[in-house]
Amino acid sequence: MSDQQIPPNGANGGVNGDANPATGPVVLNLQFTKDLSFEVPGAPEIYLNMRDAPRIDIALDVQARRLQEGQESYEISLQIRADAKTTDDKTAFIAELVYCGIFTLNGVPAEMLEPVLLVECPRLLFPFARNILADVTRDGGFPPVLLAPIDFVQLWQSRRGQASSVPMATA
């Protein structure tokens, strides 16, 4: 065994003692809840009259915006809305969540920018947003809403298809 001591990763710069720490092409700098709303408009009667678990409709959107021109930092937001209805079509609850992450992209080619921002970044945020939605619905007195995994590639491709099928306005 050698007497050489190896400093913890990052203590002497990056891997192999480089001056710059190693970073990947996508760096998640920060994640946060930007907006969270949970409403039970028919409380307390809705709890007393509900016999079955409510039917839940989910809407999900992903937005990306550059934070500063000339920098490769972006805010990615997952916007999730859960509308729950009872069997007699009364609103049980409405949950809305906007969960965001601040990402820095390093050396991502221009043609890969959109799929990285709208597929890979939301894929990193999704488990945390899913957990928040489950917790808030459970804490609101309902069974937790457990979102199934989202196919962000399919969501992005369908969004691109919709954008290309919209006719362009001419002046």
Tens-place pLDDT, residues 68-123:
887 889 999 999 999 999 988 999 999 999 999 999 998 889 899 999 999 999 99
Global pTM value = 0.79
Q: Is pLDDT of 17 > 70?
A: no
Each residue of 35-63: b (16+ CB within 10 Å) or e? eeebebebeeebeeebeeebebeeebebe
* SS3 category, 13: coil
**Cα→Cα distances 152→117, 118, 134, 136, 159, Å:** 11, 7, 20, 23, 10
pLDDT digits 0-9 by tens, 28-37? 999 999 999 9
- Domains of the chain (ranges, CATH numbers): 24-141 (3.10.420.10)
Q: How far apart are CA 58 and CA 81, in angstroms?
A: 6
